[in-house]
Structure formats: structure tokens, C-alpha cells
Amino acid sequence: MGLNDLGKIDEVIHGRMRLGIMVYLADAEAADFTELKTVLEATQGNLSVHIKKLEEAGYVAVAKSFVNNKPLTRVSITPAGRKAFAAYLEALGGLIGRTP
Amino acid sequence: MGLNDLGKIDEVIHGRMRLGIMVYLADAEAADFTELKTVLEATQGNLSVHIKKLEEAGYVAVAKSFVNNKPLTRVSITPAGRKAFAAYLEALGGLIGRTP
């Protein structure tokens, strides 16, 4: 039964906004905070909360710098994040794949 | 970009436990409460909360009866539930399908 894959669904990634962040970074490798905010149609606060959660899990890394005296926040997927995302996709595929 | 599918992810279905309920019912059509509790490894309270949310959305129907003087709760997927689940799978596939 596909349902034993349910337990393997990583809740850190499964949250809709965090899933969007991981999908984007799995493809783009890294992105600025403002770029993520635009493509995910997220608010500043909401996006920060979810990036923080992914960072605490070690799935993304956050680099803060100044460009032309302006603060720049860049978010990138980590090797651990790639691994966890691949496992998540597999668990989800196992769970959903079995639906008629 | 697959990310415009992110907005189409139905949060009522996306919650991990509710997703498990929908996957099971999409296959089994209907199930007793205790059956769902076992296959989803859920607690009574947790499962009740999530069935209630799906019921309020019109995605499942709950029928209560007595068998041999014992209360029986039977949960079944509704046509609206099937439709929403199919749309959910498509949105998720669109979101995830595009990952390299």
C-alpha cells in the first residue's frame, strides 16, 4: 500500500510555500529573496518564516551581503536539501502514484 | 514555470494526513473510521479533526450508524472530492513534474 509512504513525507518540505521554494531552488540552484518573493507571490514575512524553517533543517543556506550599499539576501539549496527533496519526491510519487 | 501551479495546490487536501485519507478513499471508495485510523497510523482525535475539515469542504461524506449496538462511522469520498483530488494531483504533478 502506498500509504506507508505517508510517513516518509517530510513535513518541512511538504508545506505549500516551502515546497514552492524547494521546487524553485532545485531548478535555479540559488535565488535572491526578492526573486523568490515575486515568483512565489509571497509576503516578506511569510517567505522569511518558511526560509528560516528550511534553513534550520539544513535544506537551504542563506547568505547576506551588501551590493551598492543595499542589503542582499541570497538563498541556495544545500546538498542535504537536494537529497531530502529527492527523497520527498519519491515518497510523494509512491503515495500518489498508486492512485487509480 | 511550474510555480503557477503552486497557487492551485488545494491546502485542504495537501495537509499530510488529509492527503493520506484522500489517497485511501480515492482507491477504496469508502472506509470505516477504525480502518482509516489503522492504515494512517493516526490517533482518534487527529483523524477526526482532518475528516471534519474534508467533510466541511464537501470532499468526503460521513455516515454514522449502529451495528450490533455498536456505533459505526463510515467515511466515503464524494464526487466533489474525487474532482478536487484529481485537480490536486494535476497541480502537484505540474509543480513537481518540471523539476530536473
User: Considering only CB atoms, which chain B residues are within 8 Å of A7?
Assistant: 41
- Report yes or no: A92 at the B interface, CB cutoff 8 Å: yes
- Cα dist from A25 to A4, A75, B20, B46, B48, whole Å: 28, 8, 27, 33, 36
A26: confidence class by pLDDT, cuts 50, 70, 90: very high
Domain residue limits, chain B? 2-91
Please give, rounded to a whole number of angstroms, the shortest distance from the CA of A56 to a CA of chain B: 21
User: Considering only CB atoms, which chain A residues are within 8 Å of B16?
Assistant: 6, 9, 11, 14
Segment A73-100, tens digit of pLDDT? 999 999 999 999 999 999 988 888 744 4
- Report yes or no: B83 at the A interface, CB cutoff 8 Å: no
> Looking at the domain B2-91, which fold is it?
Arc Repressor Mutant, subunit A (1.10.10)
Quote the pLDDT of residue B74. Answer: 97
What is the three-class DSSP state of B60? strand
Segment A28-70, tens digit of pLDDT? 999 999 999 999 999 999 999 999 999 999 999 999 999 898 9
**pLDDT means over runs of 10, chain B (100 residues):** 79 95 96 96 96 98 93 96 95 72
A77 or A6: whose pLDDT is higher? A77
CA diameter of chain A: 56
